[in-house]
Structure 1
């Protein structure tokens, strides 16, 4: 029998979706499953997008240009102006979601065995994209104790060698909700400039920054414009995950032209998705303000409730709609699976993403979960009741940690 590829063997299972069979089995038995595992917004997509799909008057659903329709890229130029990002349509490539943008950026910029440095925890699929491109991710741990702030520059420099080709950041961050400060972005800029590295910057959550930290895009950084590859997507800001429309943005013409070869090989980004995404740009500020207010309210509710569960701690996320929570147990992977396979509270259970899948360093995140606050507050409240009951019932919970025994640092953050 032929062998599976080494690349396929190395490809990690998704911590977001790997427990889906257990969830499906629970649902088949009539159990109500609260999905905290995946960033699938429950807020409505823009009416303008839905109307645009309903009113398609084409007689043929044709290929679009490999870099996307020009009318959409022209309208994106106006969208980015609102964030003080100056672009031309020729600097924007429309992709099949932000995922394809990351993959094509890696394939265009990195050779096999080239290395990129990523602060961890990080979006789990970055590792999958790196494996697909034959590249290697080197990680620097950020910690819950610091709120997942950028690790010291010296830690980056310890990893830089002749194979290092880039730094990858997600800002605001998935899975932590951290937002990089202007000082941190300047530190990244200096590293990129000093070592002539690519800066891959995933900025799909820019609309959702809840504190006073200003949004500093990689495209705002001076003297490294040719080094920056910005990753974007409409999935989160418009609740349009399923239309699979993203963007790869760069002022580096060689990178652009190389990415276009991969885009031509896959022919075109989704036609109907571009129609919906373009229509979404017509939405006035009221749509985005409503979504912003709703996610911020959910965040505040979730963090307060989490930190009132004995033994549980989560720092306050500053952006996006995720948080990492520390649980009073040793193996969150086993706990998350147990919740789906064995635990029920009033016919309900919860589906969380084990945080170990968002780390590369072995052993990190073993007692953490990522929670997406993409459910309404009634459902969030019910899910948190289920979580507390599950921790009480789980045979491997550290009961001594459930008596509100926190470190002084934890108490100050609470």
Structure 2
């Protein structure tokens, strides 16, 4: 019998989605499942984006340009500049989601066997993208006790080898909700200049900051124009996860030219979704003001409730819509499965994402979970009440 590839065998399961079969079984039993496991917002997609699809009368659904519609890239660059990120149209390649942008970035900057340093915990698919690209992830650990702040630069520097080609960050962070300060971004900038590395920044949650803190884009740091690559997406900004439109942004012409070859190989990003994404750029500021205020209230509601559970530690998120909580259990994977398979509270339970899958260091984060606060406040309160009861029942076994 032929065997699958080693690369395929090494591809990690998604810690976010791997428990889906257990959730499906719980629902078949008649239980209601509160989904805290996945960053799928319940916020309505801007009407202007949906109307652009409804009112379109395309007679031939053609390929677009491999870099994406020029009209979209022009308008996207204008939007970036309006929001303080100084880039030009020629710095942008439209991709099929931020995921493809990351794959293009890795493929354009690292060869098989090269190393990329990533502060962990990190978005779980970074592991998968790296395996698919033949790239070795070298983690530098941030901790819940430090609020997942940027580890000391010395911790990065001691990991740099001749194989190191890039540093990858998510800002604000998924799964931590941590927002890097301007000082931390500048420290990374000095490091990549010193060692001639790329700095790849996943900035898809940039609008989601809450307490007057500002997001600092790597695209605005002077002196690293040839080092900086930004990853972006419409998924969370406009609650358009299903549109699968993102982009890769860099002022390094060689990076863009190289990424363009990957873009040509996959032909083009989807047409209708680009139409919706271009229209979404006309979303009024009032939409974002309401969304940010809603998420701020959800964060505060969730964190307050979690802090009232004995033995639970939660890192206070400054951005995005995730947090990491440390639970009084030995293994969060087992607990998360048990929640779905063997527990209910008046016919209801919760689904969480075990955080070990957001680390690449074995044995780290085993008693942590990621929670996405994408549910309305009443559901978050109920979810935490269920979690509190479940922990008490679980630890009495």
User: TM-score, with normalisation over the residues of structure 1?
Assistant: 0.95
* Distance in 1 between residues matched to 2:396 and 2:338, nearest whole Å: 11
Counterpart contact for 2:167–2:199, Cα < 8 Å = yes
Alignment of 1:13-412 (within 5 A): 13-395=13-395
Considering only aligned residues, what root-mean-square deviation do their CA atoms show, in Å? 1.0
* Distance in 2 between residues matched to 1:388 and 1:93, nearest whole Å: 46
Deviation at 1:303, TM superposition (A): 0.1
* Distance in 2 between residues matched to 1:201 and 1:148, nearest whole Å: 17
* Distance in 2 between residues matched to 1:335 and 1:313, nearest whole Å: 16
Per-residue CA deviations over 1:245-277 (Å, capped at 9, x if unaligned) read 000001111111111111111111011111111
Deviation at 1:213, TM superposition (A): 2.8
* Distance in 2 between residues matched to 1:180 and 1:289, nearest whole Å: 22
Per-residue CA deviations over 1:53-107 (Å, capped at 9, x if unaligned) read 1111111111111110011111101111133212221110000000000011101
Deviation at 1:315, TM superposition (A): 2.0
Counterpart contact for 1:39–1:374, Cα < 8 Å = yes
Per-residue CA deviations over 1:133-180 (Å, capped at 9, x if unaligned) read 100110010011111110001110110010000000000001000011
* Distance in 1 between residues matched to 2:396 and 2:291, nearest whole Å: 38
| Unmatched runs of 5 consecutive residues or more in structure 1 | 398-414
* Distance in 1 between residues matched to 2:82 and 2:176, nearest whole Å: 26
**SS in structure 1 of the partner of residue 323 of structure 2:** strand
* Distance in 1 between residues matched to 2:73 and 2:185, nearest whole Å: 27
Deviation at 1:396, TM superposition (A): 6.4
State the partner residue of 1:409: none
User: TM-score, with normalisation over the residues of structure 2?
Assistant: 0.99
Q: Return structure 1 stretches of 4+ with deviation > 3 angstroms.
A: none
Counterpart contact for 1:329–1:396, Cα < 8 Å = no
**SS in structure 2 of the partner of residue 267 of structure 1:** coil
Per-residue CA deviations over 1:345-381 (Å, capped at 9, x if unaligned) read 1111111000000011111110100000000011111
Counterpart contact for 1:75–1:278, Cα < 8 Å = yes
Counterpart contact for 1:333–1:366, Cα < 8 Å = yes
* Distance in 2 between residues matched to 1:26 and 1:52, nearest whole Å: 38
* Distance in 1 between residues matched to 2:83 and 2:286, nearest whole Å: 17
| Unmatched runs of 5 consecutive residues or more in structure 2 | none
Alignment of 1:3-14 (within 5 A): 3-14=3-14
Deviation at 1:395, TM superposition (A): 3.9
* Distance in 1 between residues matched to 2:76 and 2:85, nearest whole Å: 11
**SS in structure 2 of the partner of residue 101 of structure 1:** helix
